[in-house]
Amino acid sequence: MTPINDTKNQIIDLAESLLLQRGYNGFSYTHISSALNVKNAAIHYHFPTKTELGVAIIQRARQQFEKWTLHPRMGSMGFAKKLDAFCGIFRDFLKFEGHVCLGSALEHDFNTLPEKMQEEAKAFIADFLIWLEKLLKEGREAGSFSFSGTPKEQAVFVLAALQGASLMVRATDTIYLDMAIRRIKQSLKK
Amino acid sequence: MTPINDTKNQIIDLAESLLLQRGYNGFSYTHISSALNVKNAAIHYHFPTKTELGVAIIQRARQQFEKWTLHPRMGSMGFAKKLDAFCGIFRDFLKFEGHVCLGSALEHDFNTLPEKMQEEAKAFIADFLIWLEKLLKEGREAGSFSFSGTPKEQAVFVLAALQGASLMVRATDTIYLDMAIRRIKQSLKK
DNA sequence: GTCTATAGGGGGATAGAC
DNA sequence: GTCTATCCCCCTATAGAC
Q: How confident is the model at residue A5 (pLDDT cuts 50, 70, 90)?
A: confident
Q: How confident is the model at residue B5 (pLDDT cuts 50, 70, 90)?
A: confident
Closest CA to B133 of B147, B116, B115, B118: B147
pLDDT at A98 over 50: yes
In the stretch 110-149 of chain A, residues with CB closer than 8 A to chain B read 110-112, 118, 121-122, 124-126, 129, 147-149
pLDDT at B34 over 70: yes
In a domain, A107, yes or no: yes
Give B37 to chain A, closest Cα distance, Å. Answer: 23
Please say whether the beta carbons of B95 and B166 come within 8 A.
no
Please say whether the beta carbons of A153 and B183 come within 8 A.
yes
CB-based contacts of A84: which residues, under 8 Å, 6+ apart?
Answer: A185
In a domain, B111, yes or no: yes
- Report how far apart the first and last C-alpha atoms of chain B are (Å, whole number): 47
In a domain, A96, yes or no: yes
In a domain, B46, yes or no: no
In a domain, A84, yes or no: yes
| Range(s) of the domain holding residue B110 | 58-188
Q: How many domains are there within chain B?
A: 1
In a domain, B83, yes or no: yes
Give B1 to chain A, closest Cα distance, Å. Answer: 35
Query: Could you tell me which chain B residue has the CA closest to the CA of A125?
Result: B171
pLDDT at A70: 98
What is the pTM assigned to this prediction? 0.97
Residues B116-175 pLDDT 10s? 999 999 999 999 999 999 999 999 999 999 999 999 999 999 999 999 999 999 999 999
CA atoms within 13 A on the CB side of A153: 15
pLDDT at B24: 98
In a domain, A3, yes or no: no
Q: In this structure, is the CB of residue B40 within 7 Å of any atom belonging to strand C?
A: yes
Residues A105-154 pLDDT 10s? 999 999 999 999 999 999 999 999 999 999 999 999 999 999 999 999 99
CA distance A111 to A81: 36
Q: For residue B118, what is the enclosing H or E element?
A: helix B115-141
- Report how far apart the first and last C-alpha atoms of chain A are (Å, whole number): 47
pLDDT at B4: 66
- Over residues A74-100, the mean pLDDT reads 96
Residue B78's CATH number: 1.10.357.10
As to burial, measured by CB atoms within 10 angstroms (0-12 exposed, 13-18 middle, 19+ buried), residue A152 is middle
In a domain, A14, yes or no: no
Give B157 to chain A, closest Cα distance, Å. Answer: 5
* B172 touching A (Cβ < 8 Å): yes
Question: Per mean pLDDT, which range of A151-160, B3-12, B16-25, B112-121 is the poorest?
Answer: B3-12
pLDDT at A1 over 60: no
* B28 touching A (Cβ < 8 Å): no
Q: In this structure, is the CB of residue A45 within 7 Å of any atom belonging to strand C?
A: yes
Partner-chain residue, chosen from B147, B161, B186, that has the shortest CB–CB distance to A160: B161
pLDDT at A25: 98
Residues A16-52 pLDDT 10s? 999 999 999 999 999 999 999 999 999 999 999 999 9
Q: Which is more confidently placed, B3 or A108?
A: A108
* B25 touching A (Cβ < 8 Å): yes
Residues B76-131 pLDDT 10s? 999 999 999 999 999 999 999 999 999 999 999 999 999 999 999 999 999 999 99
Q: For residue B119, what is the enclosing H or E element?
A: helix B115-141
State the average pLDDT for chain A. Answer: 96
CA distance B128 to B161: 13
